[in-house]
């Protein structure tokens, strides 16, 4: 009964979404405020009804209702309760439902926090989001209904993929989706502005906080996924250039470009058509990412063959959404005008180069990810392009980008001069070069790549400190002076420092990690990076729905015990799938990482992998700093003040016409 | 005006490509190297980099050249098949370890088993370029005169092994 309620809720949601996509937009076109007034209530109603659907599916999972096909495929009565809830997004159908649910959350958020927007604009934004929602609900109802029944019901479920039974992965997809779907807001704002024909800095100011929030979620989501890969896959790697990872990285690159481009559009009214295009691209890539990952196209193109309806629907949906928005762009963008002029050397030109580099980086990831797909679709067989391609392409793109990052905040808007910039950065450049030459020598090994990494990180840190020092220059109380720059300035610099911290992590791990892959019998000791690892054998430990072979490894340094590690090899009882659980002793300057390979047949020995990973946690700490920086910048008071000011203006019955700041 | 339509055009071309891709049947790819002599190489061996190996040492034998790498996910898919093929002793498999690190490659072979008679390291991928490697894995059937007779792009499957590679090997060995 309850799954039928869920199914019914989806159907109602579909009709509501059609109304939400039609009425407000028609209203805005005819300047009919009654029709436009329906935007908010419909958005709220849609949110409530999709909530009902998602609650029904959670109920089916929690109550082990294996007469629901999706539940039978992705859960099991032995599955611990938290994973039964998370199994909701363990497969294709449920992920679509989660996607739609998150879309309605964003829509309600826009409806609630954008009361200061002109009614036309808000109606169009909510309308566009309704249209997107229609697409997803149709997709679900026509090809991938999570409430499809399985009759007769299964005795028990096929269990959730053990890879997904992990606390890190419980939070990873919702975070990622908050990011993906969040870009739909920027997208809707861009389309509304195109529809209304008014692309000005006001539009950019409205889009900015939404874009940044989505970007923050996406950053956290990607970082979580990478952390999970680090401790769950047992190879000690944190990024594999795997198509699934790339699918989330592409919108991140486009989103990062969008954030910077929006800044220029807001402050200087330049780059307008480029910004719109980026907003469309960021969301299109999110859509593509969702589909590529969820439909299983990338793991096997033949997933389409089993259900060609899905493949065709996906493609049609992409063509409708992306095609129509690009058509709108082609039609409206020529009227936008070029905006403020700027010189070859100026903050605008630096941000433009930043945008170009990010776009090229994004395009090369796109190429590397889809190339195997194209080859497979054309019958060339499955291929891996693999890390060599991405590493070769990425370093040369990122190095100038990071150098630019140090210069951007220093350069003046509109017109800057090279001698002036040179005067301010020469010592920073010399200092970072000295550090880049000396630090690797102190660490014991000097390679050009390590030196480059350290150069970039040092450069960012030093230019950031220099710029901050200039901004708070003057006399008086230091605390008072520190309050002079805005919060969004601090947010930006924190995010930039996050990049530096990230680069340090990557460089150190790549350059100085120690790895031992050895056969160890009980009592054997292996030495790595000054630590001794003693293997004390393996015992069997039962888990809720698996049995684990748990090893004990005692780590000591200079005869003193540092820690004990308990790496596991788990076998999940339903699927019979083996899983590796690495055991890690994290540290500020290094991680000690041990994972079990395979038992050596006929002996008590095991293949054991031991890693010393210097500074590896800095990778995720850097991501966290970027995310916090993003959060800090949207808490800037100018967004709140403008919001209030705009509201009084709007209620005063006037048209919003803000001057460019 | 044109430049504003450009994004749309690019996207439509892409979508068209995807659509065609959706409907296409898998088919064989002709390689320009088929029936041509296998490009010459002399590369260090994986397990003992002081020794070299060259394709010319294989004159008079039918052999398989398998391009693989430890970072390649699809290679893991074909690995069990290669192992069982190696056990049957029908045809020697030589590995070209493509753009890989020695430790990674050896670690992977120690863990998963080694089907190769011998492996050479193509660290910078130069030899791969000569062979027209699209991606990893690829497998070449090379005859007694050192001529490439067949090229499998992507992982070896049961089907391609039994219907293409093995019959071809048997025929070439008879010659």
Q: How far is B60 from chain A (nearest CA, A)?
A: 30
Contact: B28, A379; criterion CB under 8 Å: yes
Q: What is the pLDDT of residue A123?
A: 94
For residue B50, name the pLDDT band (cuts at 50, 70, 90). Answer: confident
Which residue do the tokens 């190879």 mark? A235
Contact A358, A256 (CB under 8 A): yes
Nearest CB to B22 within list A311, A333, A384: A311
Q: Could you tell me if B21 lies within 8 Å of chain A, comparing CB atoms?
A: yes
Q: How far is B168 from chain A (nearest CA, A)?
A: 19
Phi, psi of A159 (to 5 degrees): 80, 150
Sign of the alpha-carbon torsion through A356, A359, A361, A367: negative
DSSP secondary structure letters along B123-170: TTSHHHHHTT--SB-EEEEE-TTSBEEEEEES---HHHIIIIIHHHHH
Closest CA to A233 of A175, A184, A304, A162: A162
Q: How many CA atoms lie within 13 A of A460 on its CB side?
A: 27
A383 versus B145: the higher-pLDDT residue is: B145
Selected for mutation to probe chain A from B10, B22, B107, B126 (highest A CB count within 10 Å) is B22
Which residue do the tokens 């989103």 mark? A255
Indicate the pairing of strand B52-54 with strand A546-557: unpaired
Indicate the pairing of strand A531-542 with strand A525-528: antiparallel
Predicted confidence (pLDDT) per residue in A478-501, tens digit = 888 888 888 889 999 999 999 999
Which of A115-129, A298-312, A375-389, A604-618 is the least confident region?
A298-312
Phi, psi of A341 (to 5 degrees): -85, 155
Angle subtended at Cα A184 by Cα A181 and Cα A186, rounded to the nearest 5 degrees: 130
Share of chain A above pLDDT 90, in %: 48
Two structure tokens written together for A60: 């089916």
Contact: B154, A517; criterion CB under 8 Å: no
Taking each helix axis as running N to C, give the angle between helix A617-634 and helix A487-512, from 0 to 180 degrees, rounded to the nearest 10. Answer: 170
3-state class of A653 per DSSP? Answer: coil
Contact A363, A249 (CB under 8 A): no
Residue A393, pLDDT above cutoff 50: yes
Nearest CB to B135 within list A273, A318, A383: A383
Burial class (CB in 10 A: 0-12, 13-18, 19+), A337: exposed
A657 versus A261: the higher-pLDDT residue is: A261
Angle subtended at Cα A355 by Cα A351 and Cα A360, rounded to the nearest 5 degrees: 150
Q: What is the pLDDT of residue A188?
A: 95
What's the mean pLDDT in A120-142? 94
Two structure tokens written together for A71: 């539940």
Predicted confidence (pLDDT) per residue in A602-652, tens digit = 888 888 889 999 999 999 999 999 999 999 998 887 666 555 554 444 433
Q: Could you tell me if A318 lies within 8 Å of chain B, comparing CB atoms?
A: yes
- Rounded to whole angstroms, the Cα distance separating A581 from A8 reads 42
How many CB atoms are located within 10 Å of the residue A125 CB?
32
- Rounded to whole angstroms, the Cα distance separating A436 from A138 reads 55
Predicted confidence (pLDDT) per residue in A494-533, tens digit = 999 999 999 999 999 988 988 888 889 998 999 988 899 9
Contact: A383, B134; criterion CB under 8 Å: yes
Radius of gyration of chain B (CA): 19
Sequence-ordered strand ranges (E) for A148-307? none
Tell me which range, A48-62, A242-256, A624-638, B7-21, is most confidently predicted by mean pLDDT. Answer: A48-62
CB pairs under 8 A between A and B: 109
Name, in order, each residue with C-beta under 8 angstroms of A428's C-beta and a sequence gap of 6 or more.
A406, A459, A462, A463, A466
Two structure tokens written together for A491: 């947010």
Alpha helices, DSSP H, located in B24-163? 73-87, 102-112, 126-130, 158-160
3-state class of A534 per DSSP? Answer: strand
- Rounded to whole angstroms, the Cα distance separating B50 from B55 reads 17
Contact: A517, B69; criterion CB under 8 Å: no
């Amino acid at each position: 009964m309850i799954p039928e309620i869920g199914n019914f809720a989806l159907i109602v949601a579909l009709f509501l979404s059609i109304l939400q996509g039609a009425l407000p937009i028609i209203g805005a076109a005819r300047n009919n405020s009654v029709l436009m007034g329906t935007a908010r209530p419909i958005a709220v109603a849609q949110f409530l009804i999709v909530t009902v659907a998602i609650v029904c599916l959670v109920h089916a999972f929690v109550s082990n209702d294996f007469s629901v096909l999706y539940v039978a495929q992705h859960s099991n009565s032995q599955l611990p309760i938290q994973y039964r809830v998370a199994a909701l997004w363990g497969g294709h159908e449920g992920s679509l439902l989660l996607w739609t649910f998150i879309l309605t959350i964003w829509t309600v958020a826009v409806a609630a926090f954008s009361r200061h927007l002109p009614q036309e604009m808000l109606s169009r934004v909510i309308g566009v989001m309704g249209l997107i929602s229609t697409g997803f609900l149709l997709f679900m109802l026509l090809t991938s209904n999570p409430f499809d029944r399985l009759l007769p019901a299964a005795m028990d479920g096929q269990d959730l993929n053990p890879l997904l039974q992990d606390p890190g992965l419980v939070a990873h997809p919702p975070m990622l989706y908050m990011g993906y779907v969040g870009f739909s807001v920027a997208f809707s704002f861009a389309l509304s502005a195109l529809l209304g024909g008014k692309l000005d800095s006001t539009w950019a100011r409205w889009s900015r906080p939404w874009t940044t929030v989505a970007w923050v979620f996406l950053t956290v989501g990607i970082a979580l996924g990478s952390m999970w890969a680090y401790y769950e896959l047992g190879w000690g790697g944190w990024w594999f250039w795997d198509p699934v990872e790339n699918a989330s990285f592409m919108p991140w690159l486009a989103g990062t470009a969008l954030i910077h481009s929006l800044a220029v559009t807001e402050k200087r009214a330049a780059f307008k058509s480029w910004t719109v295009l980026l907003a469309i691209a960021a969301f299109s890539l999110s859509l593509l990412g969702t589909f590529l990952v969820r439909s299983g196209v990338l793991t096997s193109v033949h997933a389409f063959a089993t259900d060609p309806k899905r493949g065709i629907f996906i493609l049609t949906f992409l063509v409708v959404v992306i095609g129509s928005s690009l058509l709108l762009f082609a039609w409206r963008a020529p009227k936008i005008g070029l905006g403020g002029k700027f010189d070859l050397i100026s903050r605008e030109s630096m941000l433009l180069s930043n945008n170009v580099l990010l776009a090229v980086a994004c395009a090369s990831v796109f190429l590397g990810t889809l190339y195997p797909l194209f080859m497979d679709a054309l019958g060339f067989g499955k291929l891996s392009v693999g890390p060599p391609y991405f590493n070769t392409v990425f370093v040369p793109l990122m190095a100038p980008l990071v150098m630019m990052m140090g210069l951007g905040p220093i350069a003046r808007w509109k017109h800057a001069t090279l001698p002036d910039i040179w005067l301010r950065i020469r010592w920073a450049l010399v200092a970072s070069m000295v550090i880049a030459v000396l630090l690797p020598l102190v660490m014991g090994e000097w390679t050009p790549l390590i030196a480059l990494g350290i150069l970039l990180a040092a450069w960012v840190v030093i230019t950031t400190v220099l710029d901050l020092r200039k901004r708070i220059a003057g006399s008086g109380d230091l605390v008072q002076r520190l309050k002079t720059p805005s919060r969004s300035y601090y947010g930006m610099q924190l995010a930039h420092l996050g990049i530096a911290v990230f680069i340090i992590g990557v460089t150190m791990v790549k350059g100085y990690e120690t790895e031992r892959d050895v056969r160890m019998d009980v009592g054997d000791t292996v030495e790595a990076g000054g630590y001794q690892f003693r293997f004390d054998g393996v015992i069997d430990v039962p888990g809720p729905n698996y049995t684990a072979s748990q090893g004990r490894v005692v780590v000591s340094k200079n005869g003193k015990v540092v820690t004990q590690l308990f790496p596991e090899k788990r076998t999940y009882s339903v699927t019979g799938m083996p899983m590796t659980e690495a055991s890690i002793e994290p540290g500020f300057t290094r991680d000690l990482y041990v994972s079990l390979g395979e038992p050596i047949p006929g002996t008590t020995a095991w293949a054991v992998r031991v890693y010393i990973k210097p500074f590896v946690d800095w990778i995720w700490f850097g991501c966290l700093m970027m995310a916090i920086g993003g959060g800090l910048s949207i808490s800037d008071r100018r967004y709140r003040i403008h919001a209030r000011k705009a509201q009084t203006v709007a209620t005063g019955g006037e048209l919003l016409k803000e001057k460019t700041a | 005006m044109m430049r504003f339509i450009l994004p749309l055009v690019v996207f439509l071309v892409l979508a068209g490509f995807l659509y065609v891709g959706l409907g296409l049947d898998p088919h064989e790819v002709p390689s320009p190297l088929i029936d041509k002599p296998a490009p010459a190489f002399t590369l260090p061996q994986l397990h003992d980099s002081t020794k070299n190996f060259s394709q010319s040492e294989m004159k008079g034998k039918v052999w398989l050249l398998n391009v693989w790498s430890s970072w390649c996910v699809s290679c893991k898919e074909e690995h069990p098949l290669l192992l069982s093929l190696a056990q049957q002793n029908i045809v020697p498999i030589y590995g070209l370890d493509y753009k890989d690190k020695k430790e990674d490659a050896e670690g992977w072979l120690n863990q998963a088993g080694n089907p190769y008679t011998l492996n050479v390291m193509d660290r910078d991928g130069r030899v791969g370029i000569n062979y027209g490697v699209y991606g990893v894995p690829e497998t070449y059937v090379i005859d007694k005169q050192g001529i490439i007779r067949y090229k499998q792009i992507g992982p070896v499957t049961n089907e391609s092994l039994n219907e293409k590679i093995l019959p071809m090997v048997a025929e070439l060995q008879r010659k």
